[in-house]
Every structure is written in structure tokens, then in C-alpha cells.
Structure 1
Amino acid sequence: MYGFSVTVKDKFDDAITRVTEELQKEGFGVLTEIDVKATLKKKLDIDKLPYTILGACNPVLANQAINAEPDIGLLLPCNVLVREEENGAVTVAFMDPAAVLQLVNRPEVEGMAAQVKEKLERVRDALK
């Protein structure tokens, strides 16, 4: 499995705000916000339900990871997906850094990935 998720009671925009706030509590900032719905409408004239990818980064842990493996930036930042379902529910899904960063195959990176996963799981749990 490469991710974990939670269904929230928030409206879509409120969910993005709350996710961002909870990420900040765990030391993450949101570096990027990709509005996939708007992009697909603009580029392909396709209507989709709200679907936004947040690129979350914990600077302290990112710096440690880059120092351990300079090319690890290919696997950063941690993506957090906020998407609206057909039934109106909102799902927040998190990339599992432990699963993704095992590609690096370095013990020091595995330890950092576990720390990041714990932090993201706390964000998920705070959203319930």
C-alpha cells in the first residue's frame, strides 16, 4: 500500500484549510497546491469533482533526508490529496513515506520516513 486516508465531515474547502492547519501543527508547510479539477477544465475542458494535491514538507526532516541522499528530492514533497466523492463526502489521503522512501534502500532514510509517517498519521487522526 502506498497511502492511507480518512473521510472527513468537512466541506471541500474547509477540509483543505483544516488539513493545512493540522500539517502545520506537525511541522509541515504546504509548498504546492495543485487544483487538478481546474487544470483539467482549463486544459481538456473536462469537468471533475474537486480534487486538490497538497505538497507537504517538513523542512527539518527534508534537510536530513537530502543530507543522507541528495537525489531524494525526486520523492519529495509528501503528497496529501483532498478529493470530493460522488456522494459529497470528502476524502483526505496521505502518501505513505515509509512505502515510497523504501525505494532509497538506506537505513538512515528509513528512520526518517518512519518519523514522517507518524506525523502524517497524527494529522489523519486529528481530522477524524
Structure 2
Amino acid sequence: MDYGIPVTLDLPFTEAVERVRAALAEQGFGVLTEIDVRATLRAKLGEEVEDYLILGACNPALAHRALQVDPRIGLLLPCNVVVRAADGRTVVEAMDPQMMVQVTGQPALEAVAGEAAGRLRAALDALAD
């Protein structure tokens, strides 16, 4: 089961993160949370890994619609977007919102998940341009 929407960029990590934030904003997503996995693993475990950032992206209107269908959907929100360094390139992956439908078994979520997926795909497509 593929649960992500990926794009690989020939950009430095820091520049890619800036472009991801801008592309998400263009599609109505704000970044509610940010987890610097590299810094966390270094501080907590003394381990070194490539740059790896998890952005918790949220489109408030879509989140509201999903919560109206299923109040427990908050367990699957926000939509995580990972930006990570990989072999001199930067990989950006967004969680496929269709997973909300599969996990919950709620067909009523299909429309909002479809719109969220379309907006995330548009944001990632914009990065590749």
C-alpha cells in the first residue's frame, strides 16, 4: 500500500524547505507543527542522520469538513509532509489523504480527502516546475 505522494528535487535541503512552505501556502495549507528529526535524534540518541523535517500541514477548511464527518479524524491530522535529504538531492513526500478513507472506512470522507490530495499534489507539482 502506497501512502505517500513523493517528489524528488535537485535543490539544497534549506531551499527545498522554503519552497515547500510556499507551495503549501499557495494551496491553503499552513504549517502547524514542525519536527526536526535530525536534531531530535542527535539530542536524544547521539545519532547522526541526514536532514529530515516533518511539517504538519493543515488546510483549516478541509480539516473542518473532515471533523464534521468523523470527530476522531483528528488522530490522522494534520497532513504530514516530510522534507529529507537523500544522496545530494531533497525528497519531499506528503501523506496521501486518501489514507483517511481507508483507515476509517468512512466513504463520506472521500470528497474532502480527494480535495486535500489534489491540493497536496498541486503543491508538490509546483515544486518540480
TM-score (norm. length: structure 2): 0.95
Q: Residues 64-83 of structure 1 correspond to what in structure 2 (within 5 A)?
A: 64-83=65-84
CA distance in 2, matches of 1:4, 1:106: 21
Supply the AA of the counterpart residue of 1:44.
L
- Taking the aligned partners of 1:29 and 1:112, their CA distance within structure 2 comes to 17
Shift of 1:43: 0.1
Quote the Cα distance in structure 2 between the aligned partners of 1:59 and 1:113: 13
TM superposition outliers: structure 1 runs of 4+ over 6 Å: none
1:103 shift after superposition: 1.4
Match of 2:102 in 1: 102
Q: After the TM superposition, which residues 87-98 of structure 1 pair with which residues of structure 2 at under 5 Å, given as runs? A: 87-98=87-98
Render the CA deviation track for 1:12-58: whole Å, top value 9, x for unaligned: 01111100000000000000110000000000000111000000000
Name the % identity: 47
> Structure 1: where are the runs of 5+ without partners?
none
**1:104 shift after superposition:** 1.6
- C-alpha displacement of 1:106: 1.8
SS in 1 for 2:38: helix
Q: TM-score, normalization: structure 1?
A: 0.96
How far off its partner does 1:8 sit? 0.9
Question: Does the Cα contact within 8 Å between 1:3 and 1:96 map onto a contact in 2?
Answer: yes
Partners of 1:28 and 1:62 in 2: how far apart? 10
- State the one-letter code of the partner of 1:102: Q
Q: Distance in 2 between matches of 1:81 and 1:45?
A: 22
- How far off is 1:105 after superposition? 1.7
Q: Which amino acid aligns with 1:119?
A: R
Alpha-carbon RMSD: 0.9
- Residue 41 of structure 2 is matched in structure 1 by 40
> Contact 1:79/1:95 (CA < 8 Å) preserved in 2?
yes
SS of alignment partner, residue 5 of structure 2 = strand
For each residue in 1:66-91, what CA deviation from the matched residue of structure 2 results, as whole angstroms up to 9, or x when unmatched? Answer: 11110000000000000001x21100
Aligned residues: 127
